[in-house]
Structure 1
């Protein structure tokens, strides 16, 4: 690769310093991920007031996750073509509208539609869009670390919003608390201003591509398909825990405060895990790092299920799971950028994330369905364990290198 592609051309064209771009992007990631990760606190008050089953609530959250995945690819392509700041602003507006609709929805169908709108809005201002901007203004060897900062910021949002959301529900009621969260989305367009200079710039590739060419190239690449398969598992595991863990602890007879404590600890320790993954991803093969993370999750869940539940085991589980929580994101996104460059990075990252959100849909929905049928979450926990081992294995054959691109008009070399 020539020196000109070592450092993306977008960096000197930005009107804002790198530290400001990273700081604002991290704040956006926290504002985006915090309210979304706190939705599990609404399960009990909404289902009790509306008289709905847990499956009804879970299906709305499942649709939310699925539309987040669908939107990630769409908004990723929109950001690559039209600009990061415009995308973040549009996403924030849809996110706020969806949250408001959740507070109004009088029927399960309306509540599910609101969940879809939230999911689409989250996609438009998620850390995947932020990472697309980051990827164009930092050196390739620094991307994993900077992606770790963005992921850690999202985790801080989870840590911060868990007690804030529960406090708002207690003090204002669940309806009014949703209105407050919707209002906070108005900060995102302001924070997006410094990121506008990093959008729609052709950088880091030997040649430009159309959207369809980028799609075909990625789907024809074996290592990309393996990455997609592995990230499905990540979504299944984390979405199930985020949505159902507070209710699971209540079913075990533990004080509801431990659900708040657990989500706070997961968010806090994932700051460590995300930054650690960013650092380790610069020093060891990313595929090995991902395999260790997924195997570690399966081990932690297995031990947690086999020992008697108590506040102590909840704290230990949350801390360990927090370290492994979204630490998959920095190496996964770094591999996408390494394989294909940054021209369509946000869109291709969105394709990987779509797989993550299919897993999220199934994890959340099956959690509600199986609980309503069996009055137990155990079958879904064990599914997550098996899938974690599967993910650990599929990452090992991934090839960590830029894709071999033949000159135009010639067939691409087989991998």
Structure 2
């Protein structure tokens, strides 16, 4: 390998004894940032009951949160790529904590939409696991990307497992308002670990990298991305992931209560999803390094469709609910390691935070529709049947969409102009 090529490689991949510390810090941030927002569905019943809101009011606020999160994610990625991951995470933690605190004061739909919707949405975007994964991509050797991405995603899942019973306990012992204040205080810890993830991918010297995509500017990379069929298919497919996870996260606890079970069953269902998602995310990261990532994604989405079909067509009990939660947990964020891995393969690590942010925006459009349609269709029909069947159809659609994706560089077979 030439000295120029070696320099270009080292510019974008950090090696050394600080890598384990980066991974540990990133995992802690994933736990703290993903945990509170994954438990907000537990607040639907107490807040709606206290203020006399329909489920569509709370659902719209959280649907707005998912949409804002998705819309802001590419900009959070651009900020991380330009100014560093650490600064971006600190800004996000501040906004996130303020949003949770104001949500604790929300006694009108408008204040709920501003706090739970806009502010928490922005806060989650600027502290999300996609930024952590981008930091891992530039810090870990490419052959270990799948494992690192799996660990980062699994940490976020552990946050859901940890915060689901914690959130329920805080609500039952201190009330929903104080529970949100305590969660805001936990988010304030994020900046302590954000410093470890400081830095950004350095631009290689012109023409120094062996990978053509590393020599492109951001605008050139974006232009290439939107001309790449495989990337576009990935964008469409990830929409379905958001639809599934957001609907279940927000509406599952209340759906379970509608079946005549105690609210604690819903909390433990969310916790089981988080627990088994650790297994699913790690397994997905390992399998994605051994098998074609696109086929792995097709299998995951098809398995989701089958799991949902069995759950809603067979008699629903506490046991079937917990089995369904465990199954969906394995399939939950197991989509993230292969999806982020495909982005890294197509375009390299330099602008990964931005490019995965765009893919994630599609995910959050799906999240918005999953949450909001869940509330609207329930208010219209008195049940969640239509939204469950729509989720099944979308799972089959995603399985079909991912199958033809090619796991290769976006510059393969292309003549890409170098920046002047």
Sort the TM-score into its range (normalised by shorter chain). over 0.9
Structure 1 residues 409 and 11, CA, compared in 2 at 3 Å: closer, same or farther?
A: closer
Return 266-275 or 256-265, whichever deviates more.
256-265
Kept in 2, the 8 Å contact 1:8–1:138? The answer is no
Kept in 2, the 8 Å contact 1:25–1:130? The answer is yes
Q: Could you tell me which residue of structure 1 aligns to residue 344 of structure 2?
A: 337
**Count of matched residue positions in the alignment of Structure 1 and Structure 2:** 408
Q: Deviations over 1:186-209 (max 9, x none)?
A: 111110111114x14226753433
Matches of 2:328 and 2:92, distance apart in 1: 29
Q: Could you tell me which residue of structure 2 aligns to residue 234 of structure 1?
A: 241
Structure 1 residues 12 and 110, CA, compared in 2 at 3 Å: closer, same or farther?
A: closer
Kept in 1, the 8 Å contact 2:246–2:371? The answer is yes
Q: Could you tell me which residue of structure 1 aligns to residue 186 of structure 2?
A: 184
Q: Could you tell me which residue of structure 2 aligns to residue 381 of structure 1?
A: 388
Written as runs of structure 1 = structure 2, the 5 A alignment for 1:44-193 is 44-114=45-115, 115-193=117-195
Q: Secondary structure at the match of 1:119?
A: helix
Matches of 2:224 and 2:160, distance apart in 1: 35
Q: Deviations over 1:343-380 (max 9, x none)?
A: 11100000000000000000000000000000110100
Shift of 1:106: 2.5
Runs ≥4 residues deviating over 6 A: none
Q: Could you tell me which residue of structure 1 aligns to residue 44 of structure 2?
A: 43
Matches of 2:12 and 2:306, distance apart in 1: 42
Matches of 2:113 and 2:267, distance apart in 1: 25
Written as runs of structure 1 = structure 2, the 5 A alignment for 1:387-398 is 387-398=394-405
Q: Deviations over 1:8-58 (max 9, x none)?
A: 4344577x6110000000000110100010000000001011111100000
Matches of 2:103 and 2:344, distance apart in 1: 36
TM-score, normalised via structure 2 length: 0.94
Please state if 1:292 is matched with 2:293: no
Matches of 2:378 and 2:73, distance apart in 1: 29
Please state if 1:406 is matched with 2:415: yes
1:9 to 1, 8, 11: 11
Q: Could you tell me which residue of structure 2 aligns to residue 312 of structure 1?
A: 319
Kept in 1, the 8 Å contact 2:81–2:201? The answer is yes
Q: Could you tell me which residue of structure 1 aligns to residue 219 of structure 2?
A: 212
Kept in 2, the 8 Å contact 1:249–1:258? The answer is yes
Matches of 1:12 and 1:382, distance apart in 2: 46
Compute the RMSD of aligned alpha carbons: 1.7
Unaligned stretches of 5+ residues in structure 2: none
Shift of 1:117: 0.9
TM-score, normalised via structure 1 length: 0.95
Q: Secondary structure at the match of 2:89?
A: helix
